[in-house]
Amino acid sequence: MEMKMKNVNLSKMERMAVLAFKNALRLHFDSILLYKKGSAPSAYHMSILALEELGKYEILDDFIYHSRIDGRFTPDQELEIIKSIYNHRVKQNCFVGFHIDYEYYSSKMIQEIFKGKMEMSKQNAAYVGLPRKNSMINLHGKIQSPFKIKSKVAEKQITLVNDTLLLLTLGFLKGTYAIDILDLEKYLTMRLLNKLKRSWTIMRSRERRRFEALNRLPNDDEDD
């Protein structure tokens, strides 16, 4: 007799989401350490892993929110959603969900995510091989090597993740960014904000302007 599938435990999914965010922080700060030690390919690769964990958090957060507001999906639908956290390109695409500035979607780095170039670059930062398209290997293509990843590429990737974390954390502290999973609040602290600023001082100009505008707002716990 075939067993009937059950809905997933939402509390477990919340714990997984928070752990994914915590792991993203670990990977991000490790990528900065690798960059400062002169290992640009490894720093770049690890920064993309951090980005993917943030995308995983976004998938789970969205799933939990809609499950509680709109009602539960069917067990089969829930299984498909959970499967998506094992798909690298889906996680990379969902990372963009952290950004409410739609001009941001037209940036070159974000377009590379949507086109699948980030996943290809991530593999090239870790392995030596020949170029591939889908399952086909180009036997006559140039050798792909991690040693081709330059420090500027790693710098841009780390900055993308750091800017995102800075704006998320400051936005939460200022009350402009709402958190659906309450257990995440203990990580979005002034201590994290200061660590992000201290560990990586580079910011893109548009994100710096947004950060400075947010910083001028009163903190969420201040009296009106």
pLDDT of 110 above 50? yes
Interval 48-106: pLDDT, tens: 999 999 999 999 999 999 999 999 999 999 999 999 999 999 999 899 877 655 455 55
Tokens 């910011």 locate to: 203
pLDDT of 173 above 90? yes
What is the model's pLDDT at position 224? 46
Sequence letter at residue 180: D
Is residue 46 a contact partner of residue 157, using CB atoms and an 8 Å limit?
no
Instruction: State how far the Cα of 171 lies from the Cα of 169, in Å rounded to an integer.
Output: 5
Q: For the chain, what are the domain ranges?
A: 10-119+148-214
Instruction: State how far the Cα of 201 lies from the Cα of 221, in Å rounded to an integer.
Output: 27
Does residue 6 or residue 114 have the better pLDDT?
Answer: 6
Interval 192-202: pLDDT, tens: 999 999 999 99
Does residue 218 or residue 35 have the better pLDDT?
Answer: 35
CA 48 to chain centroid: 8
pLDDT of 149 above 70? yes
Is residue 202 a contact partner of residue 155, using CB atoms and an 8 Å limit?
yes
Is residue 59 a contact partner of residue 90, using CB atoms and an 8 Å limit?
yes
Query: What pTM, to 2 d.p., does this model score?
Result: 0.90
